[in-house]
Amino acid sequence: MKTLKNQIETLILIVTGMLFFSSLNSFGQDSHKNNILEMENKDIIENKIDSLLSIMTLKEKIGQLVLYNGSWDVTGPPSDLGNKEKFEKLKNGEVGAMLNVTSVEATKKIQSDVMEHSRLKIPLLFGYDVIHGYKTIFPIPLGESASWDLEAIKKSSSVAAKEATASGINWAFGPMVDISRDARWGRIMEGAGEDPFFGSKVAVARIQGFQGEDLSNTNTLAACVKHFAAYGFAEGGRDYNTVSIGEYELHNTVLPPFKAAVEAGVASMMSAFNEVDGIPATGHKMLQRDILKKTWGWDGFIVSDWASITEMIYHGFAKDKNQAAEKAIIAGNDMDMEGKAYETGLEELVKDGKVDENLIEDAARRILRVKYELGLFDDAYKYSDEAREKNDIYTKENLEASRDVAKKSIVLLKNNNDILPLRKDLKSIAVIGPLANDKDTPIGSWRAKAVPNSAVSLLEGIKSAVGKSVSISHAEGVKLGVGQRSFIKELKVNREDVTGIAEAVNIAKNAEVVVMAIGEEAFQSGEGRSQVNIELTIPQQKLFDAVWEVNKNIVVTLMNGRPLAITNIAEKAPAILETWHLGSESGNAIADVLFGDYNPSGKLPVSFPRHVGQVPIYYNAKNTGRPLNKDGMVFWSHYTDEKNDPLFPFGHGLSYTTFQYKDFKISEDSFSSGEEITVSVTVTNTGKRKGKEVVQLYIQDLIGSLTRPIKELKGFELIELEPGQSKEVSFVITQETIQFYTANKKWEAEPGDFKIFIGGSSNTKLEKGFSFTK
């Protein structure tokens, strides 16, 4: 017995020791183990895909490449297929995905049609435009980017994913990562603005919010980065228009956010409507197959935008649907959204030898891979949970998150004489403007399943903040939109009627302060909403001027989806808040800032022009050969009737406190390949309120194989300081920091001299120099 006992004890010691040393061996190597497990999991998935593809017919492989619209919530021409024909194709396994099918009931019904009737029972993807929220709406993406708070942006997308998946969606058509410098383009509201470095950071945050750490979790979904590529560079800012862009501009400005998305593991991408130098993006082999899939090694799938494959016929790039299908699949476009080209043409093209079946198989493999990663083959109904749909959507917690992100997205553009924050014990406030009591516009465009007129209006937010002791008067002043608001029809904007101004002037005369809500209606921006005039409408300008004549204490709250040219307003109004279209909790969030419950911390992600004639306008422009007026003559790069600089520059944003930058230091004045230098600055809150500051790092490459921008954002950090508190903020500069796509047609750092700038906006003058040698 004793011997047996000793043997057992010895065995226990041995096993314990093995476990102990195993744990020691794994300490610090979790990442390596996770990588091995991830690789093994990928191998398992690839083996499963191989097995499945080996038994699929050509028609079934093509079926995975077909995406149908499931309702009349469209962003393009309605489908010419009836529901009966769609059902037949679904049950035959000839459809890979559906869009605009929402709710557990609807998605479960269609999924069951496929799973019960199709031969191979391959589950569907259900896609939807989840742009800035699902039912709980967050600020429009451009506005949310103004927070410069990557964790808040990630949180926004994660809440949207939670709600969308609770309603049966497993694939979001977002984020949009197009860089745009033209405020005339309506879709500028969907992105992160004008800067590729900043846009890359925001893109990754949104992808992480949508996809989480594990795509198979039921509260995450597959992201779809769009639009590949250069959609934001449409000529004249006109949607769907031609793009003419050079190779170097493409690589240095347009592609970085897409590359960052690939490195973040984005599941899918959407091609763009536009052509790029004569080739429609949907049929652009260099972009899709060569750069994205080959050079970057990306294994996700590309979906066309709505009918953009067949639209290559209108471009004059394809003679018919069959040729459009041929060009698109060869170029690398994997899935056809509502184009009807792949389903009608690919089988014949393969049989005629015009398309290699391996291209079809590669496209199907990419789509199947995402379905496996989502866990749909383990449980096709994993997003069909009625309890989640009842409990996880439009909750108090989600609305609180919306309010939090919204107040962080507000930018204080101007605050003369510290008119803001307003006191809550004011005797009277006049809330004036066409958007003051508007409960729909704050929801913004691309509003998913938001309930119309469900947002908290500015008037409601102010009343809730101050209580009944303050006299609140309200007048619309002028109307903004005329007639019914519609996502798919042109908005009629009031450009003449000023009949309500007299009432507004009357209440303004007797108020201590006027809060004026002006800007754009929700559907003045978004897809198909390009404008040549980005000023306030004439009735709104007349309203402001009339009120200003009787009461100079005006706080302007701009509500808009694009940068506006508001030079006249900016010259007169003592305080201006850029409040964008902030979503469900808009009015409460604005009131939080108006009355100082939250100290504004937003910074502009895009430049505001003085005049539409300046656009496209952006901070990281080139010097030109004649940047300065040195001799008093006219021959330099300028306008004769307006300044060159923007009204409000990229990175601009004030606070209710003040920040001082001092002790700007650089560890070395030069470094070589494989080395690094550190730059630091001490930031002090010199005011009386706790506040946040976005410390921004810019670099100028003085001489290059290509002309270089006068300044480029290369780092930023959001800090919060108590009054009197200081913090040293440091940035590490490496070879990667200063690399760009050079004349050698590759990404590299060139030796030379550089300037480095640190401050609270792109117009900072705090600078030092360094050099780099190889």
Per-residue pLDDT tens over the stretch 193-211:
999 999 999 999 999 999 9
What integer pLDDT is reported at residue 23 of this predicted model?
A: 38
DSSP string, 417-453: GG--SPPTT-SEEEEESTTTT-SSGGG-SS-TTPPTT
Structure tokens at 31: 């990442």
What integer pLDDT is reported at residue 32 of this predicted model?
A: 58
Contact criterion met (CB below 8 Å) for 607 and 585: no
Q: Which residues of 696-715 are buried (b: 16+ CB within 10 A; e: fewer)?
A: bbbbbbeeeebebbbbbbbb
- Active-site amino acid positions: 305
What integer pLDDT is reported at residue 87 of this predicted model?
A: 84
What's the rounded Cα separation, in Å, for the pair 518 and 437? 11
Q: Which of 129, 120, 123, 58 is nearest to 97 (CA)?
A: 123
Structure tokens at 368: 């199947």
What integer pLDDT is reported at residue 80 of this predicted model?
A: 52
User: Which sequence spans correspond to the domains of the chain?
Assistant: 394-614, 659-773
Structure tokens at 120: 């191979």
What integer pLDDT is reported at residue 26 of this predicted model?
A: 42
Query: Is beta strand 224-228 parallel, antiparallel or unpaired with respect to 268-271?
Result: parallel
What integer pLDDT is reported at residue 630 of this predicted model?
A: 85
- Domain 659-773: CATH architecture, name and number where available: Sandwich (2.60)
What integer pLDDT is reported at residue 21 of this predicted model?
A: 33
Structure confidence by residue, pLDDT tens digits, 726-770: 999 999 999 999 999 999 999 999 999 999 999 999 999 999 999
Contact criterion met (CB below 8 Å) for 559 and 579: yes
Amino acid at 530: S
Structure tokens at 198: 């900043």
Tokens 């079926």, residue located: 63
Structure tokens at 724: 């009197």
What's the rounded Cα separation, in Å, for the pair 379 and 610? 55
What integer pLDDT is reported at residue 86 of this predicted model?
A: 82
Task: For the beta carbon of residue 547, count every other beta carbon within 10 angstroms.
Answer: 25
Query: Is beta strand 275-276 parallel, antiparallel or unpaired with respect to 279-280?
Result: antiparallel
Contact criterion met (CB below 8 Å) for 196 and 254: yes
Q: Give a three-class secondary structure readout of 330-396.
A: HHCCCEEECCCCHHHHHHHHHHCCCCCHHHHHHHHHHHHHHHHHHCCCCCCCCCCCHHHHHHCCCCH
What integer pLDDT is reported at residue 491 of this predicted model?
A: 87
Rg (CA), the chain: 28
**Cα atoms in the 13 Å half-sphere on the side-chain side of 674:** 1
Query: How far is residue 44 CA from its own chain's centroid?
Result: 33
Query: How far is residue 620 CA from its own chain's centroid?
Result: 20
Query: How far is residue 611 CA from its own chain's centroid?
Result: 25
Q: Which residues of 482-516 are buried (b: 16+ CB within 10 A; e: fewer)?
A: eeeeebeeebebbeeebebbeebbebbeebebbbb
What integer pLDDT is reported at residue 487 of this predicted model?
A: 83
Query: Is beta strand 513-519 parallel, antiparallel or unpaired with respect to 492-493?
Result: unpaired
What sign for the dihedral angle of Cα 695, 696, 697, 700? negative
What's the rounded Cα separation, in Å, for the pair 124 and 86? 13
Helical ranges in 92-146 per DSSP H: 104-117, 141-145
**Cα atoms in the 13 Å half-sphere on the side-chain side of 262:** 20
Structure tokens at 102: 């929402």
3-state secondary structure of 199: helix
> Which residues of the chain register pLDDT less than 70?
1-39, 71-82
What integer pLDDT is reported at residue 3 of this predicted model?
A: 44
Q: Give a three-class secondary structure readout of 577-643.
A: EECCCCCCCHHHHHHHHHCCCCCCCCCCCCCECCCHHHCCCCCCCECCCCCCCCCCCCCCCCCCCCC
Q: Which CATH number fits domain 394-614: 3.40.50.720, 3.40.50.1700, 3.40.30.10, 3.30.300.250?
A: 3.40.50.1700
What integer pLDDT is reported at residue 13 of this predicted model?
A: 37
Contact criterion met (CB below 8 Å) for 120 and 60: yes
What integer pLDDT is reported at residue 104 of this predicted model?
A: 97
Q: What secondary structure letter does DSSP report for 176?
A: B
What integer pLDDT is reported at residue 79 of this predicted model?
A: 52
